[in-house]
A and B are shown apart, each in its own frame.
Chain A
Protein backbone atom coordinates (compact mmCIF):
# COMPACT_ATOMS: atom_id res chain seq x y z
CA UNK A 1 0.00 0.00 0.00
CA UNK A 2 2.46 2.60 1.19
CA UNK A 3 5.17 1.58 -1.12
CA UNK A 4 2.99 1.97 -4.12
CA UNK A 5 1.30 5.19 -3.17
CA UNK A 6 4.67 6.85 -3.11
CA UNK A 7 4.75 6.93 -6.90
CA UNK A 8 1.40 8.31 -8.04
CA UNK A 9 0.94 10.48 -4.96
CA UNK A 10 3.83 12.67 -5.94
CA UNK A 11 2.07 13.33 -9.19
CA UNK A 12 -1.16 14.41 -7.54
CA UNK A 13 0.28 16.90 -5.15
CA UNK A 14 1.14 19.75 -7.52
CA UNK A 15 -2.58 20.31 -8.04
CA UNK A 16 -2.59 22.03 -4.66
CA UNK A 17 -2.40 25.75 -4.05
CA UNK A 18 1.33 25.60 -4.57
CA UNK A 19 0.52 25.39 -8.24
CA UNK A 20 -0.93 28.89 -8.10
CA UNK A 21 1.47 31.69 -8.87
CA UNK A 22 3.26 32.53 -5.69
CA UNK A 23 2.62 36.18 -5.05
CA UNK A 24 3.72 36.95 -1.53
CA UNK A 25 6.91 36.02 0.23
CA UNK A 26 8.05 33.24 -2.06
CA UNK A 27 11.01 32.25 0.11
CA UNK A 28 8.87 31.69 3.16
CA UNK A 29 6.44 29.66 1.12
CA UNK A 30 9.26 27.57 -0.29
CA UNK A 31 10.39 26.84 3.23
CA UNK A 32 7.04 25.97 4.73
CA UNK A 33 6.70 22.36 3.51
CA UNK A 34 10.09 21.61 5.04
CA UNK A 35 9.06 23.19 8.32
CA UNK A 36 5.91 21.07 8.44
CA UNK A 37 7.71 17.81 7.89
CA UNK A 38 10.72 18.78 10.01
CA UNK A 39 9.57 17.30 13.35
CA UNK A 40 8.68 13.97 11.78
CA UNK A 41 11.91 13.76 9.79
CA UNK A 42 14.07 14.68 12.78
CA UNK A 43 12.39 12.07 14.98
CA UNK A 44 12.73 9.48 12.26
CA UNK A 45 16.41 10.24 11.75
CA UNK A 46 17.20 10.23 15.46
CA UNK A 47 15.26 7.11 16.42
CA UNK A 48 15.30 4.99 13.25
CA UNK A 49 17.95 5.85 10.69
CA UNK A 50 20.78 6.95 12.92
CA UNK A 51 20.31 3.80 15.06
CA UNK A 52 20.21 1.73 11.87
CA UNK A 53 23.60 3.18 10.95
CA UNK A 54 24.80 2.47 14.48
CA UNK A 55 23.67 -1.12 14.17
CA UNK A 56 25.64 -1.55 10.96
CA UNK A 57 28.61 0.07 12.68
CA UNK A 58 28.32 -2.17 15.75
CA UNK A 59 28.17 -5.25 13.55
CA UNK A 60 31.88 -4.77 12.72
CA UNK A 61 32.85 -4.50 16.37
CA UNK A 62 33.22 -6.70 19.37
CA UNK A 63 31.50 -5.06 22.33
CA UNK A 64 29.62 -6.24 25.39
CA UNK A 65 27.40 -3.16 25.84
CA UNK A 66 29.38 -1.87 28.82
CA UNK A 67 29.96 1.85 28.22
CA UNK A 68 33.38 1.90 29.85
CA UNK A 69 34.72 -0.94 27.75
CA UNK A 70 36.03 0.17 24.35
CA UNK A 71 34.66 -1.37 21.18
CA UNK A 72 37.09 -3.48 19.25
CA UNK A 73 37.00 -3.52 15.46
CA UNK A 74 36.80 -7.10 14.21
CA UNK A 75 35.99 -6.65 10.50
CA UNK A 76 33.44 -9.23 9.31
CA UNK A 77 34.17 -11.79 12.03
CA UNK A 78 30.75 -11.33 13.60
CA UNK A 79 29.06 -12.02 10.28
CA UNK A 80 31.11 -15.15 9.78
CA UNK A 81 30.31 -16.29 13.30
CA UNK A 82 26.59 -15.58 13.17
CA UNK A 83 26.20 -17.33 9.82
CA UNK A 84 27.79 -20.46 11.20
CA UNK A 85 25.68 -20.58 14.35
CA UNK A 86 23.15 -23.42 14.45
CA UNK A 87 20.85 -21.13 16.48
CA UNK A 88 20.60 -18.82 13.49
CA UNK A 89 19.73 -21.66 11.14
CA UNK A 90 17.09 -22.89 13.54
CA UNK A 91 15.67 -19.37 13.92
CA UNK A 92 15.58 -18.87 10.16
CA UNK A 93 13.79 -22.16 9.60
CA UNK A 94 11.34 -21.36 12.39
CA UNK A 95 10.68 -17.90 10.98
CA UNK A 96 9.99 -19.43 7.58
CA UNK A 97 7.55 -21.86 9.18
CA UNK A 98 5.88 -19.07 11.13
CA UNK A 99 5.49 -17.08 7.91
CA UNK A 100 3.98 -20.08 6.12
CA UNK A 101 1.59 -20.68 9.00
CA UNK A 102 0.46 -17.06 9.06
CA UNK A 103 0.12 -16.90 5.29
CA UNK A 104 -2.43 -19.63 5.87
CA UNK A 105 -4.06 -18.12 8.94
CA UNK A 106 -4.12 -14.45 8.07
CA UNK A 107 -4.42 -14.58 4.25
CA UNK A 108 -5.69 -17.90 2.87
CA UNK A 109 -8.20 -18.84 5.58
CA UNK A 110 -9.61 -15.31 5.76
CA UNK A 111 -10.05 -15.35 1.99
CA UNK A 112 -12.03 -18.58 2.23
CA UNK A 113 -14.08 -17.31 5.18
CA UNK A 114 -14.76 -13.97 3.56
CA UNK A 115 -15.83 -15.52 0.26
CA UNK A 116 -18.06 -18.08 1.94
CA UNK A 117 -19.71 -15.57 4.21
CA UNK A 118 -20.00 -12.57 1.94
CA UNK A 119 -23.72 -13.12 1.42
CA UNK A 120 -24.36 -12.49 5.10
CA UNK A 121 -25.14 -8.80 5.29
CA UNK A 122 -26.67 -6.18 7.49
CA UNK A 123 -26.82 -6.33 11.26
CA UNK A 124 -25.82 -9.96 11.52
CA UNK A 125 -22.62 -9.21 9.60
CA UNK A 126 -21.81 -6.25 11.82
CA UNK A 127 -22.30 -8.36 14.92
CA UNK A 128 -20.11 -11.23 13.65
CA UNK A 129 -17.38 -8.86 12.63
CA UNK A 130 -17.45 -7.07 15.96
CA UNK A 131 -16.88 -10.38 17.75
CA UNK A 132 -14.31 -11.78 15.33
CA UNK A 133 -12.14 -8.70 15.69
CA UNK A 134 -11.83 -8.76 19.49
CA UNK A 135 -8.79 -11.09 19.81
CA UNK A 136 -6.73 -8.68 17.71
CA UNK A 137 -7.11 -6.06 20.45
CA UNK A 138 -5.98 -8.22 23.37
CA UNK A 139 -2.73 -7.06 24.86
CA UNK A 140 0.09 -9.65 24.57
CA UNK A 141 0.48 -10.26 28.31
CA UNK A 142 -3.21 -11.06 28.55
CA UNK A 143 -3.41 -13.27 25.47
CA UNK A 144 -0.41 -15.27 26.59
CA UNK A 145 -1.90 -15.63 30.06
CA UNK A 146 -5.28 -16.72 28.67
CA UNK A 147 -3.77 -19.39 26.48
CA UNK A 148 -1.42 -20.64 29.14
CA UNK A 149 -4.49 -21.15 31.27
CA UNK A 150 -6.45 -22.82 28.44
CA UNK A 151 -3.51 -25.17 27.80
CA UNK A 152 -2.60 -25.70 31.48
CA UNK A 153 -2.01 -29.40 32.16
CA UNK A 154 -3.94 -29.03 35.42
CA UNK A 155 -7.43 -27.64 35.02
CA UNK A 156 -6.85 -26.26 31.53
CA UNK A 157 -9.85 -26.53 29.24
CA UNK A 158 -8.10 -27.88 26.18
CA UNK A 159 -6.19 -30.74 27.88
CA UNK A 160 -9.45 -31.61 29.69
CA UNK A 161 -11.31 -31.86 26.39
CA UNK A 162 -8.42 -33.78 24.82
CA UNK A 163 -8.42 -36.23 27.73
CA UNK A 164 -12.19 -36.68 27.46
CA UNK A 165 -11.71 -37.48 23.77
CA UNK A 166 -9.12 -40.07 24.69
CA UNK A 167 -6.06 -38.15 23.49
CA UNK A 168 -4.34 -36.85 26.61
CA UNK A 169 -1.80 -34.11 26.03
CA UNK A 170 1.13 -32.93 28.07
CA UNK A 171 2.44 -29.44 28.55
CA UNK A 172 2.31 -28.05 25.04
CA UNK A 173 4.75 -25.24 25.89
CA UNK A 174 7.45 -27.52 27.27
CA UNK A 175 7.51 -30.00 24.41
CA UNK A 176 9.95 -29.10 21.60
CA UNK A 177 7.58 -30.77 19.17
CA UNK A 178 4.64 -28.54 19.99
CA UNK A 179 5.96 -25.28 21.44
CA UNK A 180 5.97 -23.61 18.06
CA UNK A 181 2.45 -24.79 17.39
CA UNK A 182 1.41 -23.16 20.66
CA UNK A 183 2.83 -19.82 19.55
CA UNK A 184 1.11 -20.18 16.19
CA UNK A 185 -2.23 -20.93 17.86
CA UNK A 186 -2.01 -17.88 20.12
CA UNK A 187 -0.87 -15.42 17.44
CA UNK A 188 -3.10 -17.01 14.82
CA UNK A 189 -6.09 -16.57 17.11
CA UNK A 190 -5.28 -12.86 17.18
CA UNK A 191 -4.60 -12.45 13.46
CA UNK A 192 -7.38 -14.57 11.92
CA UNK A 193 -10.19 -12.12 12.65
CA UNK A 194 -8.10 -9.21 11.44
CA UNK A 195 -7.48 -11.03 8.15
CA UNK A 196 -11.16 -11.86 7.71
CA UNK A 197 -12.14 -8.24 8.23
CA UNK A 198 -9.51 -6.92 5.84
CA UNK A 199 -10.48 -9.35 3.09
CA UNK A 200 -14.19 -8.69 3.70
CA UNK A 201 -13.58 -4.97 3.38
CA UNK A 202 -11.72 -5.61 0.15
CA UNK A 203 -14.66 -7.67 -1.11
CA UNK A 204 -17.15 -5.00 -0.14
CA UNK A 205 -15.13 -2.53 -2.19
CA UNK A 206 -15.59 -4.54 -5.37
CA UNK A 207 -18.54 -3.32 -7.36
CA UNK A 208 -21.22 -6.03 -7.71
CA UNK A 209 -21.75 -4.86 -11.29
CA UNK A 210 -18.84 -6.99 -12.51
CA UNK A 211 -20.28 -10.18 -11.12
CA UNK A 212 -23.73 -9.22 -12.38
CA UNK A 213 -22.41 -8.55 -15.87
CA UNK A 214 -20.46 -11.80 -15.91
CA UNK A 215 -23.41 -13.88 -14.78
CA UNK A 216 -25.55 -12.35 -17.52
CA UNK A 217 -22.85 -13.51 -19.91
CA UNK A 218 -23.31 -16.99 -18.46
CA UNK A 219 -20.35 -17.22 -16.08
CA UNK A 220 -20.73 -19.72 -13.26
CA UNK A 221 -20.29 -18.80 -9.61
CA UNK A 222 -16.92 -20.51 -9.59
CA UNK A 223 -15.79 -18.62 -12.67
CA UNK A 224 -16.92 -15.34 -11.13
CA UNK A 225 -14.95 -16.06 -8.00
CA UNK A 226 -11.74 -17.10 -9.73
CA UNK A 227 -11.77 -14.86 -12.77
CA UNK A 228 -13.28 -11.68 -11.37
CA UNK A 229 -13.42 -11.46 -7.59
CA UNK A 230 -9.97 -12.81 -6.76
CA UNK A 231 -8.10 -10.82 -9.44
CA UNK A 232 -9.86 -7.65 -8.30
CA UNK A 233 -8.97 -8.53 -4.74
CA UNK A 234 -5.35 -9.24 -5.59
CA UNK A 235 -3.97 -5.85 -4.47
CA UNK A 236 -5.41 -6.46 -0.99
CA UNK A 237 -4.14 -10.03 -0.97
CA UNK A 238 -0.67 -9.09 -2.13
CA UNK A 239 -0.48 -6.38 0.49
CA UNK A 240 -1.74 -8.66 3.23
CA UNK A 241 0.82 -11.29 2.20
CA UNK A 242 3.62 -8.76 2.24
CA UNK A 243 2.56 -7.61 5.71
CA UNK A 244 2.47 -11.21 6.88
CA UNK A 245 5.94 -11.97 5.54
CA UNK A 246 7.51 -8.81 6.93
CA UNK A 247 5.71 -8.78 10.26
CA UNK A 248 5.23 -12.43 11.26
CA UNK A 249 8.44 -12.35 13.26
CA UNK A 250 7.24 -9.20 15.05
CA UNK A 251 3.75 -10.56 15.72
CA UNK A 252 5.22 -13.65 17.35
CA UNK A 253 7.92 -11.85 19.33
CA UNK A 254 5.87 -10.88 22.42
CA UNK A 255 4.25 -14.29 22.70
CA UNK A 256 7.58 -16.08 22.33
CA UNK A 257 9.08 -13.88 25.03
CA UNK A 258 6.12 -14.31 27.36
CA UNK A 259 5.31 -17.98 26.84
CA UNK A 260 8.27 -20.03 25.65
CA UNK A 261 11.35 -17.74 25.70
CA UNK A 262 12.19 -19.36 22.40
CA UNK A 263 12.46 -22.78 23.93
CA UNK A 264 12.61 -25.53 24.73
CA UNK A 265 15.98 -25.71 23.03
CA UNK A 266 15.28 -22.93 20.52
CA UNK A 267 12.34 -24.92 19.14
CA UNK A 268 10.02 -21.90 19.06
CA UNK A 269 12.45 -19.02 18.64
CA UNK A 270 12.45 -16.65 15.69
CA UNK A 271 14.99 -14.31 14.15
CA UNK A 272 14.00 -11.25 16.17
CA UNK A 273 13.94 -13.12 19.44
CA UNK A 274 17.44 -14.30 18.55
CA UNK A 275 18.52 -10.65 18.19
CA UNK A 276 17.18 -10.01 21.67
CA UNK A 277 19.01 -13.00 23.09
CA UNK A 278 22.30 -12.11 21.42
CA UNK A 279 22.06 -8.50 22.55
CA UNK A 280 20.40 -8.54 25.95
CA UNK A 281 21.12 -12.04 27.25
CA UNK A 282 24.59 -12.75 25.87
CA UNK A 283 25.55 -9.05 25.71
CA UNK A 284 27.16 -9.53 22.33
CA UNK A 285 26.24 -6.30 20.56
CA UNK A 286 28.30 -7.16 17.50
CA UNK A 287 26.66 -10.51 16.95
CA UNK A 288 23.15 -9.13 17.40
CA UNK A 289 23.91 -6.21 15.08
CA UNK A 290 25.44 -8.42 12.40
CA UNK A 291 22.39 -10.66 12.40
CA UNK A 292 20.08 -7.61 12.49
CA UNK A 293 21.83 -6.06 9.50
CA UNK A 294 21.45 -9.30 7.55
CA UNK A 295 17.74 -9.56 8.41
CA UNK A 296 17.18 -5.95 7.44
CA UNK A 297 18.81 -6.52 4.05
CA UNK A 298 16.96 -9.79 3.52
CA UNK A 299 13.54 -8.35 4.26
CA UNK A 300 14.31 -5.26 2.21
CA UNK A 301 15.05 -7.48 -0.75
CA UNK A 302 11.82 -9.42 -0.24
CA UNK A 303 9.84 -6.19 -0.06
CA UNK A 304 11.38 -4.92 -3.31
CA UNK A 305 10.54 -8.17 -5.07
CA UNK A 306 6.99 -7.90 -3.76
CA UNK A 307 6.54 -4.33 -4.93
CA UNK A 308 7.76 -5.39 -8.36
CA UNK A 309 5.43 -8.39 -8.32
CA UNK A 310 2.41 -6.43 -7.25
CA UNK A 311 3.03 -3.89 -9.99
CA UNK A 312 2.97 -6.69 -12.52
CA UNK A 313 0.27 -8.92 -11.14
CA UNK A 314 -2.28 -6.56 -9.71
CA UNK A 315 -5.49 -5.80 -11.50
CA UNK A 316 -7.01 -2.50 -10.67
CA UNK A 317 -10.65 -1.67 -10.46
CA UNK A 318 -10.56 1.61 -12.37
Chain B
Protein backbone atom coordinates (compact mmCIF):
# COMPACT_ATOMS: atom_id res chain seq x y z
CA UNK B 1 0.00 0.00 0.00
CA UNK B 2 2.94 2.34 0.52
CA UNK B 3 3.31 2.78 -3.22
CA UNK B 4 -0.24 3.98 -3.68
CA UNK B 5 -0.18 6.49 -0.84
CA UNK B 6 3.21 8.08 -1.52
CA UNK B 7 2.52 9.81 -4.86
CA UNK B 8 -0.39 11.77 -3.47
CA UNK B 9 1.85 13.54 -0.97
CA UNK B 10 4.20 14.85 -3.64
CA UNK B 11 2.09 17.41 -5.53
CA UNK B 12 0.91 18.93 -2.25
CA UNK B 13 4.29 19.25 -0.61
CA UNK B 14 6.01 22.03 -2.66
CA UNK B 15 3.15 24.51 -2.26
CA UNK B 16 3.67 25.46 1.40
CA UNK B 17 7.46 25.38 1.01
CA UNK B 18 7.56 28.13 -1.63
CA UNK B 19 4.90 30.37 -0.15
CA UNK B 20 5.76 32.41 2.93
CA UNK B 21 2.94 32.45 5.46
CA UNK B 22 0.30 34.70 3.98
CA UNK B 23 -2.82 36.24 5.47
CA UNK B 24 -4.79 33.65 7.40
CA UNK B 25 -7.76 33.51 5.03
CA UNK B 26 -5.72 32.51 1.94
CA UNK B 27 -3.63 30.15 4.01
CA UNK B 28 -6.79 28.49 5.21
CA UNK B 29 -8.15 28.26 1.68
CA UNK B 30 -4.94 26.72 0.45
CA UNK B 31 -4.98 24.28 3.31
CA UNK B 32 -8.60 23.44 2.57
CA UNK B 33 -7.85 22.83 -1.13
CA UNK B 34 -4.84 20.75 -0.33
CA UNK B 35 -6.92 18.95 2.31
CA UNK B 36 -9.68 18.08 -0.15
CA UNK B 37 -7.24 16.93 -2.83
CA UNK B 38 -5.32 14.83 -0.36
CA UNK B 39 -8.61 13.61 1.06
CA UNK B 40 -9.78 12.49 -2.37
CA UNK B 41 -6.58 10.58 -3.06
CA UNK B 42 -6.64 9.22 0.46
CA UNK B 43 -10.20 7.96 0.09
CA UNK B 44 -9.41 6.45 -3.28
CA UNK B 45 -6.43 4.64 -1.80
CA UNK B 46 -8.57 3.41 1.06
CA UNK B 47 -11.23 2.11 -1.32
CA UNK B 48 -8.57 0.27 -3.31
CA UNK B 49 -7.14 -1.25 -0.18
CA UNK B 50 -10.61 -2.14 1.04
CA UNK B 51 -11.36 -3.97 -2.21
CA UNK B 52 -7.97 -5.67 -2.09
CA UNK B 53 -8.42 -6.94 1.44
CA UNK B 54 -12.02 -7.99 0.88
CA UNK B 55 -11.13 -10.13 -2.13
CA UNK B 56 -10.41 -13.30 -0.10
CA UNK B 57 -13.67 -12.82 1.76
CA UNK B 58 -15.55 -12.47 -1.51
CA UNK B 59 -13.79 -15.55 -2.85
CA UNK B 60 -14.82 -17.64 0.15
CA UNK B 61 -18.42 -16.43 -0.02
CA UNK B 62 -18.59 -17.31 -3.73
CA UNK B 63 -16.96 -20.66 -3.13
CA UNK B 64 -19.49 -21.47 -0.43
CA UNK B 65 -22.25 -21.01 -3.01
CA UNK B 66 -20.72 -23.29 -5.63
CA UNK B 67 -21.66 -26.85 -6.30
CA UNK B 68 -19.25 -29.75 -6.04
CA UNK B 69 -18.63 -29.78 -9.76
CA UNK B 70 -17.74 -26.10 -9.92
CA UNK B 71 -15.80 -25.80 -6.67
CA UNK B 72 -12.38 -25.63 -8.29
CA UNK B 73 -13.34 -23.11 -10.98
CA UNK B 74 -12.36 -19.47 -10.55
CA UNK B 75 -14.69 -17.73 -12.98
CA UNK B 76 -17.64 -15.78 -11.65
CA UNK B 77 -20.57 -17.30 -13.55
CA UNK B 78 -21.96 -20.35 -11.88
CA UNK B 79 -25.27 -21.55 -10.49
CA UNK B 80 -25.44 -20.46 -6.86
CA UNK B 81 -26.70 -23.07 -4.47
CA UNK B 82 -27.34 -23.18 -0.74
CA UNK B 83 -26.70 -26.90 -0.73
CA UNK B 84 -23.33 -26.53 0.98
CA UNK B 85 -24.88 -24.69 3.90
CA UNK B 86 -27.53 -27.38 4.24
CA UNK B 87 -24.90 -30.08 4.23
CA UNK B 88 -22.71 -28.29 6.76
CA UNK B 89 -25.64 -27.63 9.10
CA UNK B 90 -26.78 -31.22 8.74
CA UNK B 91 -30.13 -30.30 7.19
CA UNK B 92 -29.63 -32.79 4.35
CA UNK B 93 -29.49 -36.52 4.69
CA UNK B 94 -25.77 -36.74 5.60
CA UNK B 95 -26.05 -35.37 9.13
CA UNK B 96 -23.40 -33.12 10.62
CA UNK B 97 -22.04 -32.08 13.99
CA UNK B 98 -21.18 -28.56 12.80
CA UNK B 99 -23.74 -26.96 15.12
CA UNK B 100 -22.32 -28.82 18.09
CA UNK B 101 -18.78 -27.69 17.21
CA UNK B 102 -20.04 -24.17 16.68
CA UNK B 103 -21.59 -24.11 20.16
CA UNK B 104 -18.40 -25.56 21.64
CA UNK B 105 -16.43 -22.79 19.95
CA UNK B 106 -18.83 -20.21 21.30
CA UNK B 107 -18.58 -21.62 24.82
CA UNK B 108 -14.78 -21.86 24.87
CA UNK B 109 -14.18 -18.44 23.35
CA UNK B 110 -16.73 -16.64 25.49
CA UNK B 111 -15.54 -18.47 28.58
CA UNK B 112 -11.90 -17.72 27.81
CA UNK B 113 -12.60 -14.00 27.34
CA UNK B 114 -14.72 -13.78 30.51
CA UNK B 115 -12.09 -15.52 32.65
CA UNK B 116 -9.37 -13.34 31.16
CA UNK B 117 -11.36 -10.18 31.89
CA UNK B 118 -12.21 -11.29 35.41
CA UNK B 119 -8.57 -11.89 36.28
CA UNK B 120 -6.93 -9.60 33.75
CA UNK B 121 -8.66 -6.33 34.67
CA UNK B 122 -7.49 -6.35 38.31
CA UNK B 123 -4.09 -7.65 37.19
CA UNK B 124 -3.70 -4.88 34.63
CA UNK B 125 -4.77 -2.30 37.19
CA UNK B 126 -2.28 -3.58 39.72
CA UNK B 127 0.47 -3.68 37.11
CA UNK B 128 -0.31 -0.09 36.12
CA UNK B 129 -0.50 1.34 39.61
CA UNK B 130 1.86 -0.59 41.84
CA UNK B 131 5.55 -1.27 41.46
CA UNK B 132 6.67 -4.29 43.37
CA UNK B 133 9.67 -6.55 43.21
CA UNK B 134 9.53 -8.53 40.00
CA UNK B 135 6.48 -6.75 38.62
CA UNK B 136 8.19 -6.07 35.30
CA UNK B 137 9.48 -9.66 35.12
CA UNK B 138 5.97 -10.91 35.70
CA UNK B 139 4.64 -8.72 32.92
CA UNK B 140 7.36 -9.87 30.58
CA UNK B 141 6.65 -13.51 31.35
CA UNK B 142 3.02 -12.86 30.49
CA UNK B 143 4.05 -11.20 27.24
CA UNK B 144 6.34 -14.09 26.37
CA UNK B 145 3.26 -16.35 26.15
CA UNK B 146 2.33 -14.29 23.11
CA UNK B 147 5.53 -14.57 21.18
CA UNK B 148 6.58 -18.08 22.18
CA UNK B 149 5.15 -20.44 19.55
CA UNK B 150 2.34 -22.61 20.88
CA UNK B 151 3.97 -25.66 19.35
CA UNK B 152 6.71 -25.46 21.98
CA UNK B 153 4.33 -26.36 24.80
CA UNK B 154 1.82 -28.46 22.95
CA UNK B 155 3.33 -31.90 23.53
CA UNK B 156 3.74 -31.62 27.31
CA UNK B 157 0.34 -29.94 27.50
CA UNK B 158 -1.21 -32.84 25.59
CA UNK B 159 0.29 -35.37 27.99
CA UNK B 160 -0.70 -33.42 31.09
CA UNK B 161 -4.23 -32.82 29.82
CA UNK B 162 -4.70 -36.53 29.18
CA UNK B 163 -3.47 -37.38 32.66
CA UNK B 164 -5.52 -34.89 34.67
CA UNK B 165 -8.67 -35.42 32.67
CA UNK B 166 -8.90 -32.05 30.97
CA UNK B 167 -8.47 -33.52 27.50
CA UNK B 168 -11.42 -32.75 25.27
CA UNK B 169 -13.31 -30.65 27.84
CA UNK B 170 -14.66 -27.11 27.45
CA UNK B 171 -13.11 -26.24 30.81
CA UNK B 172 -9.71 -27.43 29.65
CA UNK B 173 -9.99 -25.37 26.48
CA UNK B 174 -10.96 -22.25 28.41
CA UNK B 175 -7.97 -22.82 30.63
CA UNK B 176 -5.44 -23.31 27.88
CA UNK B 177 -6.81 -20.36 25.89
CA UNK B 178 -5.74 -18.11 28.75
CA UNK B 179 -2.29 -18.39 27.22
CA UNK B 180 -3.72 -16.52 24.26
CA UNK B 181 -6.20 -14.09 25.78
CA UNK B 182 -4.73 -13.21 29.17
CA UNK B 183 -1.53 -11.48 27.96
CA UNK B 184 -3.62 -9.51 25.50
CA UNK B 185 -6.05 -8.33 28.16
CA UNK B 186 -3.39 -7.47 30.74
CA UNK B 187 -1.01 -5.67 28.41
CA UNK B 188 -3.58 -3.61 26.56
CA UNK B 189 -5.60 -2.67 29.62
CA UNK B 190 -2.47 -1.81 31.58
CA UNK B 191 -1.70 1.01 29.18
CA UNK B 192 -5.28 2.22 29.51
CA UNK B 193 -4.98 2.31 33.28
CA UNK B 194 -1.60 4.02 33.04
CA UNK B 195 -3.13 6.75 30.91
CA UNK B 196 -5.48 7.65 33.74
CA UNK B 197 -3.94 9.98 36.31
CA UNK B 198 -3.67 8.34 39.73
CA UNK B 199 -4.94 11.56 41.24
CA UNK B 200 -8.44 10.68 40.04
CA UNK B 201 -8.48 7.74 42.45
CA UNK B 202 -6.78 9.78 45.13
CA UNK B 203 -9.49 12.40 44.81
CA UNK B 204 -12.13 9.68 45.14
CA UNK B 205 -10.41 8.34 48.27
CA UNK B 206 -10.42 11.78 49.85
CA UNK B 207 -14.05 12.22 48.86
CA UNK B 208 -14.65 9.31 51.21
CA UNK B 209 -14.91 6.36 48.86
CA UNK B 210 -13.10 3.11 49.58
CA UNK B 211 -10.41 1.89 47.21
CA UNK B 212 -12.82 -0.63 45.73
CA UNK B 213 -15.50 2.00 45.18
CA UNK B 214 -12.97 4.39 43.67
CA UNK B 215 -11.97 1.67 41.23
CA UNK B 216 -15.51 0.63 40.34
CA UNK B 217 -17.08 4.10 40.21
CA UNK B 218 -14.30 6.27 38.84
CA UNK B 219 -11.66 4.17 37.08
CA UNK B 220 -13.59 1.34 35.47
CA UNK B 221 -16.10 3.51 33.57
CA UNK B 222 -13.18 5.45 32.10
CA UNK B 223 -11.50 2.37 30.63
CA UNK B 224 -14.73 0.97 29.16
CA UNK B 225 -13.58 1.68 25.58
CA UNK B 226 -10.41 -0.23 26.31
CA UNK B 227 -12.31 -3.17 27.73
CA UNK B 228 -14.55 -3.22 24.66
CA UNK B 229 -11.60 -3.23 22.30
CA UNK B 230 -9.71 -5.88 24.22
CA UNK B 231 -12.86 -8.00 24.48
CA UNK B 232 -13.18 -8.17 20.73
CA UNK B 233 -9.50 -8.80 20.10
CA UNK B 234 -9.34 -11.54 22.72
CA UNK B 235 -12.50 -13.12 21.35
CA UNK B 236 -11.15 -13.16 17.81
CA UNK B 237 -7.85 -14.68 18.94
CA UNK B 238 -9.64 -17.32 20.99
CA UNK B 239 -12.15 -18.06 18.25
CA UNK B 240 -9.49 -18.37 15.56
CA UNK B 241 -7.15 -20.51 17.60
CA UNK B 242 -6.42 -23.75 15.83
CA UNK B 243 -3.51 -25.52 17.42
CA UNK B 244 -4.91 -25.94 20.94
CA UNK B 245 -8.27 -27.45 19.96
CA UNK B 246 -6.50 -29.47 17.28
CA UNK B 247 -4.25 -31.19 19.82
CA UNK B 248 -6.29 -31.05 23.01
CA UNK B 249 -9.76 -32.01 21.80
CA UNK B 250 -11.18 -34.88 19.85
CA UNK B 251 -14.96 -34.61 19.88
CA UNK B 252 -16.94 -33.06 22.72
CA UNK B 253 -14.97 -29.82 22.93
CA UNK B 254 -13.84 -29.62 19.33
CA UNK B 255 -14.21 -26.20 17.75
CA UNK B 256 -15.27 -25.10 14.27
CA UNK B 257 -11.73 -24.29 13.22
CA UNK B 258 -10.70 -27.91 13.68
CA UNK B 259 -13.94 -29.54 12.57
CA UNK B 260 -13.70 -27.89 9.15
CA UNK B 261 -10.76 -30.18 8.52
CA UNK B 262 -13.17 -33.09 8.32
CA UNK B 263 -14.49 -31.74 5.01
CA UNK B 264 -11.03 -32.03 3.51
CA UNK B 265 -10.42 -35.62 4.50
CA UNK B 266 -12.16 -38.77 3.37
CA UNK B 267 -12.75 -39.75 -0.21
CA UNK B 268 -13.47 -36.26 -1.49
CA UNK B 269 -11.97 -32.83 -0.82
CA UNK B 270 -14.88 -30.43 -0.28
CA UNK B 271 -13.54 -26.87 -0.42
CA UNK B 272 -17.06 -25.55 -0.88
CA UNK B 273 -18.15 -27.07 2.43
CA UNK B 274 -15.11 -25.61 4.18
CA UNK B 275 -16.04 -22.23 2.73
CA UNK B 276 -19.65 -22.50 3.91
CA UNK B 277 -18.45 -23.44 7.39
CA UNK B 278 -15.99 -20.55 7.39
CA UNK B 279 -18.60 -18.00 6.32
CA UNK B 280 -20.84 -19.01 9.21
CA UNK B 281 -17.90 -19.07 11.61
CA UNK B 282 -17.18 -15.42 10.83
CA UNK B 283 -20.54 -14.40 12.22
CA UNK B 284 -19.90 -14.39 16.01
CA UNK B 285 -16.86 -12.05 15.92
CA UNK B 286 -18.71 -9.88 13.43
CA UNK B 287 -21.81 -9.64 15.59
CA UNK B 288 -19.67 -8.86 18.65
CA UNK B 289 -17.82 -6.14 16.76
CA UNK B 290 -21.10 -4.57 15.68
CA UNK B 291 -22.47 -4.68 19.23
CA UNK B 292 -19.55 -2.85 20.77
CA UNK B 293 -18.80 -0.64 17.79
CA UNK B 294 -19.77 2.41 19.82
CA UNK B 295 -16.83 1.94 22.18
CA UNK B 296 -14.54 0.30 19.70
CA UNK B 297 -13.43 3.30 17.70
CA UNK B 298 -12.63 5.22 20.86
CA UNK B 299 -10.90 2.20 22.32
CA UNK B 300 -8.66 1.50 19.37
CA UNK B 301 -7.70 5.14 18.93
CA UNK B 302 -7.39 5.94 22.62
CA UNK B 303 -4.29 7.90 23.50
CA UNK B 304 -4.21 9.52 20.08
CA UNK B 305 -7.21 11.70 20.81
CA UNK B 306 -6.78 12.18 24.52
CA UNK B 307 -7.37 15.89 25.13
Interaction A to B: no
Contacts from A to B (Cβ < 8 Å): none
Contacts from B to A (Cβ < 8 Å): none
